[in-house]
A = this chain, B = another copy of it.
Amino acid sequence: KQQPPVRKKQGTSPGTLIYTGKEKPERIIVTAIHYNEHVFQETQILKNQIKRHSATDNTITWINVEGLTDISIIEKTGSEFNLHNLLLEDVLNVYQIPKLDDYHESGILFITLNEFKLINNTCDLEKDQVSLIIGNNFVITFQEKAGDVFEPVRIRLRSAKGIIRKRNVDYLAYALMDALVDSYYIILDRYNEELFAIEDAIISKPKSNYLQPIHNLSKNLITFRRSVAPLKDVINKLIKEESYIIQETTKIYLRDITDHIEQLTTTIDTDREFLTNLINTNLSNTNNRMNEIIKVLTVISSIFIPLTFIVGVYGMNFENLPELKSENGYFILWGIMILIVIVQLIIFKKKKWL
C-alpha cells in the first residue's frame, strides 16, 4: 500500500549494486536477438553467454533480460557492454520516474520507462520498471518482471515485416518504446470501460453509494498519469539530444510517440473531469433517496397526527362534552376521519408524493 515516491535520487549511492524492488528471486530469462536486413537469429541464452558483437559484424544485437533479482547477470552485462556503474544502479533502483541519461563518454543512451499491468483484472496498477540501453550496434532491455510487451516487436523482426530490419538501433529503440506506449492504451481502455460501467450503475441503480469505486478509479488514473506524463519529456529530450545514435529519420517516429502520450494524458484528464461529475451525480442520488424517505415520513405523519388529535379530543374527561352522548357520534367521527384521509391522499397524489 506504500505509495512509491514521486522521484527518488540517491544522494549517497554506495558503489554496490542492490535491487530495490520487493520481488523474490525467480528464474530470469535472457533472450538475445541478432539481426540485420538479411540475417535473423533469436536464442534464449545463459548468463555467461551474454556478449557484445563487434561493430564490424554489421548486425544489431537486442538482449532482453526479464527479471532483476540476479545481480550477477546485471554485472556481467555491465562489464561485457562497458556500462557505467551508475547506470547499472539505476537499472536496479526500480522506483524512478521515466528519465533519459546520456552517457556521452561511452556513447550510450539510457532510458528508464514503466510497464503497467492490471492486478487481477481490477483497476489497480502494478508498475514495473523497464530500462532501455541504446549503444551504437546494440539495445539492451531490462524488464523488472517477465512480460510480453515487446512481443509485437519480436514478431515484426522475425517476419521482417515493415522496415524494422532495414533500419538502425535507433529504430529498434523506437519500436520498443512504441510497443510499450501501445500497451498503455490497453490500460486506458480498461479504465474507460470501468468509468462508463460506474456511470451506467449510478444512473440505472441510483440506490447505492458509488464513492468507493469512483475514488478508486480516480486514484488509479492519477497514479497512471503521473507515470505516463513525464515520458513525453523523455522522448522530447531524445529528439533534441545531439546524440549520433538517434538519426533524423527516426525523430519523426519519436514525435509520433509524444503525440500518443499527449493523447493519453488528455484522455486521462477528460476521464478525471468526468469522475468529478459522477461524484456530484452520486450526491444527487443520495439526496433523491432522502427525498423519498422524507416523503413517506411526511405522508404518514400528515395523515395520522391530525387523526390522533381528533381521537384525543374525545378521550378528554370533561363532564360536559356533548358529542360523547350522541348515539351515532362514534360512527359520524369515523366518517369524518375517513374523509380527512381521502382528501389528504388526493392532495398527496396530486403532489406526486405517492
Closest chain-B Cβ to A74's Cβ sits at a distance in Å of 20
Given the known A-B contacts A193-B3, A286-B288, A290-B290, are A311 and B301 also in contact in the complex, defined by CB atoms under 8 Å?
A: no
Residues of B within 8 A of A196 (CB): 3, 219
Taking the complex as formed, is A267 at the interface, i.e. its CB lies under 8 A from any CB of chain B? yes
Taking the complex as formed, is A31 at the interface, i.e. its CB lies under 8 A from any CB of chain B? no
Taking the complex as formed, is A248 at the interface, i.e. its CB lies under 8 A from any CB of chain B? no
Nearest-neighbor residue (CB-CB) of A260 within chain B: B7
Nearest-neighbor residue (CB-CB) of A216 within chain B: B203
Which of B3, B272, B308, B318 lies in contact with A312, CB distance below 8 A? B308
Pair B315/A317 contact, Cβ less than 8 Å: yes
Pair A192/B304 contact, Cβ less than 8 Å: no
Which of B260, B273, B305, B325 lies in contact with A305, CB distance below 8 A? B305
Q: How large is the interface on A (under 10, 10 to 19, 20 to 34, 35 or more residues)?
A: 35 or more
Which residues of A232-259 are within 8 A (CB) of B?
A: 233, 259
**Binding site of A, secondary structure by majority: helix, strand, loop or mixed?**
helix
Query: Assembly of this chain: how many copies?
Result: 5
Pair B317/A327 contact, Cβ less than 8 Å: no
Pair B293/A283 contact, Cβ less than 8 Å: no
Closest chain-B Cβ to A352's Cβ sits at a distance in Å of 7
Complex Cα–Cα for A298 and B302 (A): 9
0/1 interface trace, chain A 74-116, chain B, CB 8 Å (1 if under): 0000000000000000000000000000000000000000000
Residues of B within 8 A of A316 (CB): 311, 314-315, 317, 324, 330, 333
Residues of B within 8 A of A298 (CB): 293-294, 296-297, 300
Taking the complex as formed, is A53 at the interface, i.e. its CB lies under 8 A from any CB of chain B? no
Nearest-neighbor residue (CB-CB) of A236 within chain B: B259
Pair B301/A297 contact, Cβ less than 8 Å: yes
Pair A281/B189 contact, Cβ less than 8 Å: no
Which of B199, B263, B281, B318 lies in contact with A324, CB distance below 8 A? B318
Q: Can you show 30 pairs from A to B with CB atoms below 8 A apart?
A: A3-B193, A5-B189, A6-B189, A8-B185, A11-B151, A11-B155, A196-B219, A202-B211, A203-B211, A203-B215, A207-B352, A233-B263, A272-B273, A279-B280, A284-B286, A286-B291, A290-B291, A293-B294, A294-B298, A297-B298, A297-B301, A305-B305, A308-B308, A308-B309, A309-B311, A311-B312, A311-B316, A315-B315, A316-B317, A316-B324
State the A residues within 8 Å of B (CB): 3, 5-9, 11-12, 151-152, 155, 179, 182, 185, 188-189, 192-193, 196, 199, 202-203, 206-207, 209, 211-212, 215, 218-219, 222, 225-226, 229-230, 233, 259-260, 263, 266-267, 270, 272-277, 279-291, 293-298, 300-302, 304-309, 311-330, 333, 352-353
What 8 A-B pairs have minimum CB-CB distances, sorted nearest first? A11-B152, A311-B312, A314-B316, A297-B298, A315-B315, A318-B330, A304-B305, A308-B309
